[in-house]
Amino acid sequence: MSSVLSLQNISKFYGSVRALNGVSFEVPQGSVFGILGPNGSGKTTLLGIVMDILKASSGNFLWKGQPGSSNKMRRQIGTLLETPNFYHYLSGQKNLQIAAAIKERGKEDIPAVLEKVNLTQRKDSKFSTYSLGMKQRLAIASTLLGNPDILVFDEPTNGLDPAGIAEIRELIRQLNKQGKTIIMASHILDEVEKVCTHVAIIQKGDLKTVGTVNEVLAATHGDKVATVDVELAAENLAGLQEALKQMPGIIHLYSADNNLSIECEDHITTAGINKFCFEKGIVLSQLNLKRKSLEKRFLEITGNQSDR
């Protein structure tokens, strides 16, 4: 798979403050690539650099093998790095006409982009009457003017209510299905896990890990043992709990309501757990292997703290 964006040892200093430290990774074409990190980790700085708004202290980057400052290349990228300055007293369609005039391209795309973001029925309504989700969808419509191949979003669901978040999540999925490569910075782990195919985790300017979401979830970190989570239950819950305390490879055991959850070394199988419990006289009524969440993996890597 070819790369849309290639970063090589990007570093950025603000005086003595290091915002990025030798960050390198590749963004595959056709991916939804999440740049994930605590607030203050350097995500926005990184996007500012690759969009040629900020200058790196060292290192370089290429968009499809070309310098990012190329006007031809920039026309292939739609960007939403901050909330656009739409006019509240104008309609969604009028605001897009102004955006197209500023960009000097995309005026003919306005009907199509309104349809893509599901705002055709509200195109003549004033911006001030839009919900938060609709306002963000109009902002994304603005990035689609000129039909760019690549979309770059900084915190696209920030400040939205659950309904608005769901709207933007589905829109990102649909745009990706239409062939767009999407790069998005976020600190909302659940959203990244639901929409992204690839993820890079940054903390205090350092790249901690990068890969497909599944690769990141499966990887070990440092000298930590790779683990899996299992949920199980039995009629004799107390007996099950005592039996599991004797099983090798169990790291943590949690009791909740009428079942137990265990974290165990990743060589432990559900068949092995079932066999062990049966030999201890415990018949399981429930045994489910739980997929590790990106939130848990993120906390394993970064710890539970902001970088600010």
In eight-state DSSP terms, residue 127 is G
- The rounded Cα 216 to chain-centroid distance in angstroms is 12
pLDDT of amino acid 218: 67
pLDDT of amino acid 7: 95
pLDDT of amino acid 304: 56
Cα separation, 33 vs 28, in Å, equals 8
Query: What percent of the chain is helix, strand and coil (3-state, nearest 5)?
Result: 35, 30, 35
Nearest-CA neighbor of 29 among 148, 182, 156?
Answer: 182
Does domain 3-218 correspond to CATH entry 3.90.280.10? no
Pairing of strands 150-154, 181-186: parallel
Report residue 236: phi and psi, to 5°.
Answer: -95, 80
Architecture, CATH, for domain 227-297: 2-Layer Sandwich (3.30)
* Greatest pairwise CA separation for the chain in angstroms: 75
How many helices (H) and strands (E) are present in the chain, helices listed first?
A: 11, 14
- Starting from the edge strand earliest in sequence, which strands make up the sheet with 3-14, in order? 17-28, 3-14, 58-63, 66-67
pLDDT of amino acid 70: 67
pLDDT of amino acid 126: 96
Domain boundaries of the chain, sorted by first residue:
3-218, 227-297
Q: What single letter denotes the amino acid at residue 57? A: S
pLDDT of amino acid 132: 87
Can you give the pTM of this predicted structure? 0.77
Which segments of the chain have a pLDDT < 50? Answer: 222-223
Cα separation, 219 vs 232, in Å, equals 24
pLDDT of amino acid 183: 96
CA distances from 50 to 44, 162, 175, 186, 300 (A): 10, 30, 21, 16, 28
pLDDT of amino acid 292: 61
pLDDT of amino acid 291: 61
**Mapped to the 3 state alphabet, what secondary structure does 251-278 carry?**
EEEEEECCEEEEEEECCCCHHHHHHHHH
pLDDT of amino acid 223: 45
- At residue 88, the 3 state secondary structure works out as coil
pLDDT of amino acid 108: 95
- At residue 229, the 3 state secondary structure works out as strand
Report residue 130: phi and psi, to 5°.
Answer: -75, 145
